[in-house]
A and B are shown apart, each in its own frame.
Chain A
Amino acid sequence: MRDAFIATLTDLAKEDPRIVLITGDLGFGVLTSFAANHADQFINAGVAEQNMTALAAGMALEGARAYTYSIANFTTLRCLEQIRNDVCYHDADVTVVSVGGGFSYGQLGMSHFATEDLAILRALPNMTVVAPSDPWQAQELARQLHARGGPVYLRLDKDKAGLPAAPEDVVLGQVREVRQGSDLVILATGAILGEALAAAETLSGEGLEARVIDVHTLKPLDAEGIVAAVTACGVVVTVEEHNILGGLGGAVAEVCMEHGARVDAFRRVGLDDCYPSIVGDQKYLRRAYGMDAEAIAGKCRDAVAQGRKRK
């Protein structure tokens, strides 16, 4: 997903000389081509994320279209106040790109797990928050985001959901139905959508047809699309490679409550408000922390059972 995004940004940089990519000294081998072909549009700010972000804001206020780039927590939490005060308050055209959503860097330890970023970035006014599910989708959304302008938070996963490319079906700010069904709805954000789809196939074998919704844009949230799906299905399960607090699950709950959508059962799949102290690859950690396809299917069965009692 990361390489696909950089390929698109390289194309965009050819068309738009205002683009500047600022890295916090990360991207060995990944940014090489961009740096070689667009030397004037590339800055390595060094291991200094606060300055990287302030710099991006200053350049953006003078007409640049700035992209900051690093591993998830470094480009967000390390410089959160620069994002809040310098970028968001000034509505500066800065796109904060984080590579390695969730457990993408699973063996590197908790410092490299991005498991609170969506909740925190979502809380910043003026910020658009996007977590693509596939590389082709990251490319399409990158183009749409560039047309829209910052402030943007773009969370890139290492994994991919594995859906066939259908860029014409992807609209920034709108949810996308990727599987039909009406016994329950599973809403997922990011590449973990693939686990949600696998869970839906398992459930189908048991006679439960799950509608699966890709929420690639977490903010602005497509309230209309979410309420329609929830209303049609009644049983709701959210899936995110992120703390269950404040991210997709929280956002969907807010929308359902505010719109008075009838919800017969609601479950959030995600990290249960803890810091993992073990490491492993992304698949391993999803399983260990209850957010792989099997765990998702389990939560769905549980939700459907509760929903039936209420009906």
Chain B
Amino acid sequence: MQAAEGTAVRNAPDTRGLALRLRSHVVRMTHKGGSSHVGSALSMADMIAVLYGRTLRVDPKDPKWPLRDRFILSKGHAGACIYAALAERGFFPVEQLDQHYQNGSIFSGHVSHKGVPGVEFSTGSLGHGLGVGAGMAMQLRRQGHGQRVFVVLSDGECDEGSNWEAILFAGHHKLDNLVALIDYNKIQSLASVAETLALEPFADKWRAFGWAVRQIDGHDHDLLSTTLDAVPLEAGKPTVIICDTIKGKGVSFMEHAVLWHYRSPQGEEFDRAQAELAKAGEDLVTKGLGDA
């Protein structure tokens, strides 16, 4: 894969602090909107923080910069986290996040590109993002300017057969400018992934379809950074990074719980969640790991 032309535009790599800010936004947005999927947004917050804080070549001042990397959130139900990341990255004012889920708002529960700078593609129905990402990767490769396409999928989403069509296609066509990240939090809508439709041996499935595979701790910023820095992991193969995560990560009572796929934090729950995140921010500063 060719290096991207032009200047890569990145933030300082304070991704841990960014992840905490994303979590705080997500808890506030789902609280204010009375919306679901807080657990799904929290589980991928570290992945998104590293992507938007370090990896993605994007320019908030020029959202349609032709040489930008493309990012698709295929698990569109966790859109609150992407809106938060875009606001933190400077695509629009953070105050606009308060419009999430409100009457007349463009900040829909499932991520939508219309009127929101920085959102590349709208999703919400699962199993769409990877095929579209493969199409983008195919066309961008033809144009030869080195842009990459990153797609974040959920684990439950991998039940959708359309993903496996795209996985087969991307492997066959050696789309090494395509990177899939799986938020493997092991919990889907009603029960665990293992109880619903077991994905294991998951990494082997991707390998068998011709992908370069890495499975890492999806909350470890150093691992996320070094792995994303190294993509494509193998020349001539699309990359998948299976990120082992915890649903609801960062708020103790939401972690590992199916309940928080749908429940919205209210009253004391909201206060406790924000207090925990604030404490985590103080700890980061104490340890010298961030400025949350």
Contact = CB atoms under 8 A, between A and B. Distances in A.
Most buried by A among B138, B165, B166: B165
A140 B131 CA distance: 32
Contact of B169 (A45, A53, A61, A90): A45
A63 interface: yes
B132 interface: yes
B123 to A, nearest CB: 8
A81 B166 CA distance: 15
A51 B139 contact: no
Given A59-B138, A89-B122, A54 B128 contact: yes
A58 B165 contact: no
Nearest to B127: A50
Nearest to B114: A89
A59 B136 contact: yes
Contacts of B127: 50
A62 B133 CA distance: 10
B113 interface: yes
Contacts of A43: 138
Contact of A55 (B113, B123, B125, B135): B135
Contact of B143 (A55, A62, A81, A90): A62
Interface string A69-92: 000000000000110011001100
Contacts of B165: 46, 48, 50-51
Interface in A21-57: 40, 43, 45-46, 48, 50-51, 53-57
Counting chain A residues whose Cβ lies within 8 A of the other chain, the interface size class is 20 to 34
B143 A54 contact: no
Interface residues of B, number: 27
Contact of B139 (A58, A85, A89): A58
A196 B142 CA distance: 47
B121 A61 contact: yes
Contact of B168 (A48, A56, A59): A48
Contact of B122 (A40, A64, A90): A90
Given A86-B132, A89-B122, A54 B162 contact: yes
A90 B136 CA distance: 13
Contacts of B121: 61, 90
Nearest to B147: A62
Given A81-B125, A90-B113, A90-B122, A58 B134 contact: yes
Contacts of A60: 135
Given A58-B133, A58-B134, A85-B122, A46 B128 contact: no
B140 interface: yes
Given A51-B162, A90-B113, A62 B128 contact: no
9 contacts: A43-B138, A51-B131, A54-B130, A54-B162, A56-B135, A58-B138, A62-B139, A62-B143, A89-B122
